[in-house]
Structure 1
Amino acid sequence: MEFFKFALENNSEGRDKLPCPCYICHNLMYHKADVILNHLSKRQFDRTYTCWHRHVEKREEISSKDAQGHNTDEGNELEDMTSQFVHRVDDDLNVTEEMLSDSEKPLYEGCKYTKLSASLKLYSLKEGHSWTDKSFTTLLEFLIDVLPSDNVFPKNTYRAKKNIMYNGFKLMYSDPVDVEKLTWHKFGLKKDGLLRHPADSPQWRFINGQFPEFGSEERNLHLGLSTDGNDIDVYLAPLIDDLKLLWEEGVEVFDANRNEMFNLRAMLFCTIQDYPAYGNLSSYYVKGEGGCPICEDGWKGKWLSASRKTVYYDHRPFIPLDHKYYAYRKECVDSLIGTLLNISGKTKDGVNARLDLKEMNMRNELNAVETGKRDYFPLAAYTLSKKEKVELCASLAGV
């Protein structure tokens, strides 16, 4: 057999076991030569394995694409991700059963794609073309509807991510070099008082102190969640279930650096989001009178009846007045210029603002003057004439 001869001739490392290219093993399982021969005599050769790169043949660009530029070697992407992991665990079926389930299960009867390879292919298209999660879910729903009824396509974006994620956790530890990077905070951290890594933070030390069993295993993961809050309710509930599983039970993972299995646990260490999403993630009310999660009842906002919004006094109360961050933001400068030039839609000096000042008993000289026929608002001290506005603009242009 041409393939078998090629594989043996290129086994320069003299490995006892090689990846088996039968359609069931799919180059994910490693066997001795006689076992591979037995498999190939009973089973078909994996038809997606057109370039024998698992057995040292050089993969040319033309070999994986047809004349139209379409990918004809879909199995390679999945194999690239999983070969190291499976090679190290060899015949331990308990270890690879979960991963192989998705990588062997056809998307539907007779389909060349598996559940995992289809998820990887579609998700790479999503990322490459900047599809939103919502549009991707809509596409998945359509594909599920048009494909045969026995298809096992993930139902939404979250399920597709989850399908890839659990295999990804295992693959993170399949490379000894990557494992060393994942444990750098334990063995490579410089303790010089500087904050260059989350492990330098008081929060990291506090968590490890509160949960010493978790902190003593340096391979456990401290995860970060970043979200803009869009459609967060769709994903938050199942995400919490997954985080609970990773925290309470963990998943069995093979450590290629130490050549051993261990129970990997993970925790949500920090989140990055805007203020509204912070409320969704923490279940804290970030609107209304008590909108500050730090001050809580110690810092009350005030409702403005005319403007119909809550405002908060004493911005940045924890920063000294001479601090470099205690400065005007762009939005503040825009509002200031808009008010000075009386730009419609930009000025903060309008009817509602004057009515709110009256309600708060502030700047009474700016209250409306009743003349009997028509009320009018007095000009404020900062009101500029047309000539003064031109001079201000010229001055700003010259800065």
Structure 2
Amino acid sequence: MDKSWMHADRRSRAFELGVEELIQFALESGYNVNKLCCPCMNCEHSKSLKAGVVKDHLVEFGIDKTYTNWIWHGENVSNVSVPKEHSETVEQNPIGIGQNDYSMGGSDNEEFSEDSDEFLRFVEDGDKPLYLGCTHFTKLNGLVKTYNLKEKHGLSDACYSDMLILIIGMLLPEGNEVPGSFYDAKKTLCSLGMEYENIHACPNDCILYRDSNVDATTCPTCGPSRWKLGKNEIEKVGVPRKVLWYFPPIPRFRKMFQSVSTAKSLTWHADEQLNDGKMRHPVDSPTWKLVDDQWPAFGIEPRNLRLALSSNGFNPHSSLSSRYSCWPVILVSYNLPPWLCMKRKYMMLTLLISGPKQPGNDIDVYLQPLIDDLKTLWDGVQGVYDSYRKDYFTLKVVLF
């Protein structure tokens, strides 16, 4: 059967939709023919596909009508405006720490590189109105507000999903942008780099259930069960007695360099610091100079990060009658200028050690996943994009 008429019809429809122009524009802007962001109504900028497949998707599903600035296909990202509502951040993360403490990022007016497709996809997706005709809330704004309620009042994941279903089905018009479940909401928030790992721990701080102990059900050192005990001393399999929250730093280091102003600030110590013999910044310290002398290959690259690590306990329940204590472990970058170095948004939460007691000398057990990542960073993480200098480099890190 001759189907040439079908192909001709598809080509004419593609031309009417502006498909040819969009793909040609992307290729002329230097984008890979085998890895184009697909802006069809089905993919919604979430997949990178071959140019031919993108063309077929656009013909079959149609282009996203809100995609008027082709920021993921070569158009200048500085032309894109972000609504004020996007400045709102999640005030509490899944374990109750303020989002500004956890997520590395700059101000709302920062310019982000065209290379940071994942972040731009998040911004564009969050720019959608919560429902057709809504002028007060965007998809991101609504998600942030509902997620804050979940954390503020301690709603379970199942309860939060049921609340979203109620909002979708009864309170808002059809076609609204509210996520359909806790899983969908979490997947959206993960686009900001909010991934974290729950690592089970021995209640006596002996081991973490990872690597060789990942499948163990009892502590090989002291013997107690990995799982909580319920009534009649019956184990609640799947409910750990103690948990470590780990927030991998490498993805957030990458995001720091995807912000033009932050990437520039991270080399302030090399570009703008006065060398007059006075100590104004850690770059003037003997420790900084020792690193430069002992590892010249590390010191010659000003973008390599010098970090400080800090930890202290706090009471998450805001009650003097409770002795429960959590212990956050925070990284700070000394590369930043002194007026930014200790700002809250640049303090990177990497670990949260649950209580009720302080880990004491056993804190080294909980530092294991962070140390593994720091070792990887010392060897170097390739392919980090510097949006200020517009090139790729190998990022290395040293801990002071």
Alignment TM-score, normalising by the size of structure 1: 0.38
Alignment TM-score, normalising by the size of structure 2: 0.38
Give the structure with the larger helix fraction. Answer: 1
Higher relative contact order (CA 8 A, sep 6+): 2
Give the structure with the larger strand fraction. Answer: 2
Which has the higher Rg, Structure 1 or Structure 2? Answer: 1
